[in-house]
């Protein structure tokens, strides 16, 4: 059930109506907890009548793949509740540490098993083969549960915050279960911290504080970003990344730029819809994006891109490693390690590790650069101020190549003709204009569309639309939203691609 689908609208209308018609906070939380698990189960169960039929008959082989994944979510919740209670009751520091380690081991264990088991096995086998030791290590047919990277991070944030005494352990299991399974952010974030969300859970939400117009507008913007812009950009990006060696240099640049558009609109669109949905239910989620492509440095980029992940990594990993309270060398090691692990968080592939590594190197470079130009002249600073945004964006686009690269498969046999890394390198050369120039091209319309998108995005970053929108009376805003909704529906595809971040 995707946010952009009609069935989600029906689901949400029921959730919304029942939520606000219930009087007690406990009843509301119980309702939303049930809805969260229903929403999550929808990704795995398939046809519910068929599912329960198989379940009743004990036909396990007929059950849809991953039908038991909701149990992992419950397991994670129960584990962290127990850890929270254990931490609260523990008298000694070693006991507290043991409870925390248990939580980390369980959460990271789940993550490692589902996400990294095969990666580690194949990488180890490759490594041994490199040394001339041939092995026959077997991989497992593991399917990744949706959202596992997100909800394990949320659970861990609770345990770590309780351990750090920033948060009191929750007494009610319902509160924690509701926090972890709150459906707007369950499968693709934003990664909500226990510290910011749990205080909201304790208080009964008030309808009067819900700004319906703003919520609807935000949801609409998210919908347009995902359903119209991202899906359209995906057509060009997918065509290019499927066989990048056939395109001209300009088309290679366009292909990568459209991927930058696709991933931004896909993920920020999802986040907008998640935030708007949560707000309509009276809850506030962490903002996730702040026009990251207008960043003047990579450091700033990470303050504006996937904010909930970058701040999580900063607070729970970078600072735990020592942060910048140590020598310069160790600070840089911490930065690099954080970004490498951040890359690996996205997916079990060396291309993601390289992506994270490139960002880590850029962060280190930026720190050094800042130190070097600290005393530079005003003229130089002015030039750099002009170049900073395009240079940062260029580097970000270069890193997207590794993020997106997929192996080239033979059309008939589906055998791998080139690995992701080889493909990434080819695209890298084409994007930096060093690769061979081919003939296939996307056409000038794509340049115009890209320019229009960039202009709209820039105007939006200057709050031009926001200011005009706020001045409109409610009826005019409603009329414009009505027309806008139809225009958006005109440009949505009949079949959607899943949100990119669902796979993480």
Partner 1 sequence: MTGRLLPLAPGRRRGLGTAAVFAAAFAGSCWLAARWLPFPEVINVAQKRAHLAAHGDDYDAIFLGSSRVEFQVIPALFDQRMAELGFPIRSFNAGISGMTPPEDAFLFDQIARGPHRRLRWVFIELDYPRLKTQRALWDGGRMTYWHDAERMQIMGRCFLAEWAQTQARLAGQSQPARPWSERLQIRLDPVADLLEHFTGFLHRQTNLGRGAALASRLVKRKKTNPLVPDKSTADQGWVRLDGGLEDKNRAAYERAYAERLVTPQTARPNDPAAGAALRRLVEKVTAIGALPVFLVPPTTARTQMMPPEDLRQCRLLNFSDVRAFPELFVPGHRLDVEHLNAEGAPPYSRLLAERFFASLHTEKESRP
Structure tokens belonging to residue 123: 């990488």
- Short-list 132, 209, 201, 130, CA closest to 168: 201
The minimum distance between CB 184 and partner 1, in angstroms, equals 22
Partner residues linked to 440 by β-bridges? 247
Select which of 54, 306, 346, 366 is catalytic.
346
What distance in Å separates the CA atoms of residue 213 and residue 145, rounded to the nearest whole number? 34
* Nearer of residues 299 and 485 to partner 1, judged by Cβ: 485
Q: Print burial letters for 255-283: b (CB count within 10 Å at least 16), e (below 16).
A: bbbbbbbbbbbbbbbbbbbbbbbbbbbbb
- Provide the phi-psi class of 282: left if phi over 0, else alpha when psi is between -120 and 50, else beta: left
The minimum distance between CB 497 and partner 1, in angstroms, equals 13
Q: Residue 230 in 3-state DSSP?
A: helix
> Is 134 marked active-site?
no
Query: Which residues bind to partner 1, rule: CB under 8 A?
Result: 6, 49-50, 52-53, 56-57, 212-213, 228, 231-232, 235-236, 442-443, 445-446, 449, 474-475, 478-483, 485-487, 489-494
Structure tokens belonging to residue 450: 């890209």
Residue 202, burial from CB neighbour count under 10 angstroms (0-12, 13-18, 19+): exposed
* Nearer of residues 433 and 487 to partner 1, judged by Cβ: 487
Residue 145 neighbours by CB distance under 10 Å: 23
The minimum distance between CB 416 and partner 1, in angstroms, equals 28
CB 19 within 8 A of CB 281: yes
* Nearer of residues 161 and 266 to partner 1, judged by Cβ: 266
* Nearer of residues 108 and 212 to partner 1, judged by Cβ: 212
The minimum distance between CB 453 and partner 1, in angstroms, equals 13
Structure tokens belonging to residue 364: 């280190």
The minimum distance between CB 472 and partner 1, in angstroms, equals 12
The minimum distance between CB 40 and partner 1, in angstroms, equals 22
Total count of residues recorded for the chain: 504
* Nearer of residues 17 and 326 to partner 1, judged by Cβ: 17
* Nearer of residues 79 and 488 to partner 1, judged by Cβ: 488
CB 291 within 8 A of CB 274: no
What distance in Å separates the CA atoms of residue 306 and residue 190, rounded to the nearest whole number? 8
Which active-site residues does the annotation give? 346
């Amino acid at each position: 059930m995707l946010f952009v689908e009609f069935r989600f609208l029906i689901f949400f209308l029921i959730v919304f109506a029942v939520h606000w018609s219930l009087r007690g906070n406990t009843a509301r939380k119980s309702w939303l907890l049930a809805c969260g698990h229903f929403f999550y189960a929808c990704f795995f169960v398939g046809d519910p009548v068929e599912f329960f039929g198989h379940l009743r008959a004990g036909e396990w082989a007929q059950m849809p793949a991953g039908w038991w994944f909701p149990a992992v979510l419950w397991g994670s919740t129960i584990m962290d509740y127990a850890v929270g209670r254990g931490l609260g009751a523990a008298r000694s520091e070693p006991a507290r540490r043991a409870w925390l380690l248990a939580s980390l081991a369980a959460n990271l264990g789940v993550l490692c098993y589902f996400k990294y088991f095969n990666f580690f096995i194949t990488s180890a086998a490759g490594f041994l083969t490199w040394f001339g030791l041939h092995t026959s290590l077997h991989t497992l047919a593991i399917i990744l549960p949706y959202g596992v990277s997100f909800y394990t991070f949320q659970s861990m944030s609770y345990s770590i915050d309780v351990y750090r005494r920033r948060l009191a352990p929750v007494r009610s299991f319902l509160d924690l279960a509701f926090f972890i399974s709150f459906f707007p952010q369950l499968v693709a974030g934003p990664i909500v911290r226990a510290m910011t969300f749990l205080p909201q859970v304790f208080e009964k939400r008030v309808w009067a504080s819900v700004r319906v117009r703003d919520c609807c507008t935000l949801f609409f913007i998210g919908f347009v970003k995902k359903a119209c812009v991202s899906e359209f950009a995906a057509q060009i990006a997918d065509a290019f990344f499927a066989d990048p060696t056939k395109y001209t240099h300009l088309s290679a640049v366009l292909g990568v730029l459209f991927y930058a558009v696709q991933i931004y609109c896909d993920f920020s669109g999802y986040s907008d819809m998640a935030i708007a949905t949560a707000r309509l239910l009276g809850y506030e989620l962490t903002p996730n994006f702040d026009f990251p492509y207008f960043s003047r440095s990579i450091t700033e980029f990470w303050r504006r891109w996937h904010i909930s992940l970058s701040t999580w990594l900063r607070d729970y990993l970078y600072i735990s490693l020592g942060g910048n309270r140590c020598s310069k060398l160790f600070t840089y090691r911490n930065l690099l390690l954080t970004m490498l692990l951040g890359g690996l968080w996205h997916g079990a592939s060396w291309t993601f590790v390289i992506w994270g590594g490139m960002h880590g190197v850029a962060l280190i470079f930026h720190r050094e650069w800042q130190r070097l130009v600290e005393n530079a002249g005003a003229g130089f600073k002015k030039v750099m101020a002009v170049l900073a945004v395009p240079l940062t964006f260029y580097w970000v686009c270069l890193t997207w190549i590794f993020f997106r690269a997929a192996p080239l498969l033979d059309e008939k046999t589906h055998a791998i003709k080139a690995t992701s890394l080889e493909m990434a390198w080819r695209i890298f050369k084409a994007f930096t204009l060093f690769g061979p120039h081919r003939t296939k091209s996307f056409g000038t319309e794509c340049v115009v569309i890209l320019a229009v998108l960039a202009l709209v995005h820039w105007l939006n970053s200057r709050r031009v639309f926001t200011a005009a929108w706020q001045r409109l009376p409610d009826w005019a805003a409603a009329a414009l939203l009505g027309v806008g909704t139809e225009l958006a529906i005109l440009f949505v595809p009949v079949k959607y691609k899943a949100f990119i971040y669902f796979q993480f």
